[in-house]
Amino acid sequence: MNTPDALDELIACRLDAGRKALEPCSVVIFGASGDLTARKLIPALYHLHLEKQLPPAFRVLGVARREKTDAAWREELREALGRFSRTQPVNEEAWHQFAAHLKYCRGDLTDPATYARLKETLAAAPDPSLQQNLLFYLATLPSQFAEVVRQLHQAGLLQRDAGKGWQRIVVEKPFGHDLASARALNQELARHAHEHQVFRIDHYLGKETVQNILMFRFSNSIFERLWNRESVDHVQITVSEKNGVGERGAYYEEAGALRDMVQNHILQVLALVAMEPPVSLEAESIRDEKVKLLKSIRLPAPEEVARHVARGQYFAGVVDGRPQPGYRQEPKVRPDSNVETYVALRLFVDNWRWSGVPFYVRTGKCLPLSASEVRIQFRPTPHVLFAAACNGRLDPNALTLRLQPDEGISIRFNGKVPGINLAVRPVRMHFSYDSEFGAYTPEAYERLLLEALAGDATLFIRRDEVECAWRIVDAIRAGWDGKPLTNREFYAAGTWGPVAAEDLLAQSGHVWHEPRPVK
């Protein structure tokens, strides 16, 4: 007879057995001197090496414009690892083993000679697999994506139909700045690579708690039966950030909260929460259902946007007891900027499961705390039995998926207060990832790099997903065109957003539920 622990171990073994073995390969990072490489990519690869997740034979080649030796690049990365590694102190023996696989290749990304040198370096590898199995990571400016892919193709390093081995491209966000630019970039990439070779990254999909949404929904019958319009009153998705834009003012002036967060992270979470069950766990089956869901989101006409969307911009306030300047006082921000640092939307999914159920999503800068969560609020029960005990108001049941920090799942229900009187009070049952599974949670980039090396596109964004998301964002921006922010759309730094966002929910008799601070 299997004990629960034995069953858990058996399931884990089966999952490990189904994981595709990684082949020897070379990882080429364009933008090797950039912040993303130092903060995320190299630490992620180092940890995969430390945990013996990488193949025995691998190489990491960095391409950037600055002049430096292999030794100088390795020294820079070691210093960055000391600051950004999730395990401290750094294992020096493992680092030296890993560093031996690092090589630097200098060159301008617009110069064909750079790619000729890269090709020579790759061809010098002793193992044929290191020459043929190539992962190109574009940690560059978005404006350089198409140029790098075109140059790789012309140099013979990227082929649509590789005779031997494989070649894949990992593309960072933002992927375009509207539907037209995203389509143009997709078409340019498609000239030189098949869709199955392109891995559009959204680091949110690499988070363990985001991946757990599908597991939670489709492996638990008690919740799956409630996941529809018959039981759910509305859904709230909150992604709040305590920090202001800081040094990212120039980028934010071009993007704003809608493009920066809603188009990718939030719509991806919404798709996972609301999609239909896929026919299998294959990448294309899951991505098919996400696309169907995104296509089902009702697009507001420009004149309807003000009724369904609230935007906002923070002015000077206090966050964590420290003064915070307003957005218009941030570096590289126009003093009369109309860019939104906060956005809240009421979305409707026009399909059988969710007809009539509002999905409220919001994100913003300079809010009281940084947190991401999904709240499923269920329809209230009739108040006939307990009307007197609860003064005519009985709190609705709710289920909250906390994505970060303090990752976990909470269920809110009503219970009787001990005593001789019939008093009702909402109580909470909470599941904590740390308590159940331990504190270890791999960084999102570790999982995403591992999946890209294995060729599994489940956690990456398909071409039609990107375009569906931009169609929604463009419809909203069309309603904002030429309209300045109003007084009800400004909010003090350190508060939960503008009055306009409260008005948005009040139209339907709903209120926002704020994330709980981490204890």
The pLDDT tens digits of the residues spanning 315-350 come to: 999 998 899 999 999 999 999 999 999 999 999 999
Question: Residue 198: what pLDDT?
Answer: 95
Strands lying side by side in the sheet with 198-200 = 102-106, 58-64, 25-30, 134-138, 167-171, 198-200
- The per-residue DSSP string of 365-409 comes to SS-SS-EEEEEEEEPPPPSTTTTTTTTT--PPPEEEEEEESS-EE
Share of the chain above pLDDT 90, in %: 69
The pLDDT tens digits of the residues spanning 120-144 come to: 999 998 888 999 999 999 999 888 9
The pLDDT tens digits of the residues spanning 63-105 come to: 999 999 999 999 999 999 999 888 888 889 999 999 999 999 9
Q: Which of 115-119, 129-133, 163-167, 465-469 has the lowest mean pLDDT?
A: 163-167
pLDDT band at 4 (very low <50, low <70, confident <90, very high): very low
User: Two tokens at 209?
Assistant: 């708690």
Average pLDDT over residues 386-394: 62
pTM of this prediction exceeds 0.75: yes
User: Two tokens at 299?
Assistant: 């697009």
Identical fold for domains 24-172 and 205-506, yes or no, is: no
Whether the predicted pLDDT of 6 surpasses 50 = no
Q: Which of 194, 265, 308, 430 is catalytic?
A: 265
What residues are paired with 113 via a beta bridge? none
Identify whether 265 is a catalytic site residue.
yes
Say if residues 490 and 223 touch (Cβ distance below 8 Å).
no
> Residue 239: phi, psi to the nearest 5?
-125, 100
CATH architecture of 205-506: 2-Layer Sandwich (3.30)
User: Two tokens at 318?
Assistant: 């206090």
Question: Residue 341: what pLDDT?
Answer: 96
Question: Residue 474: what pLDDT?
Answer: 96
3-state secondary structure (DSSP) of residue 313: strand
Share of the chain above pLDDT 70, in %: 92
SS3 string of 222-252? Answer: HHHCCCCCCCEEEEEEEEECCCCCHHHHHHH
Whether the predicted pLDDT of 12 surpasses 60 = no
Domain boundaries, the chain: 24-172, 205-506
Question: Residue 424: what pLDDT?
Answer: 74
- In the CATH hierarchy, which top-level class contains the domain 24-172? alpha beta
10 or 42: whose pLDDT is higher? 42
Question: Residue 252: what pLDDT?
Answer: 92
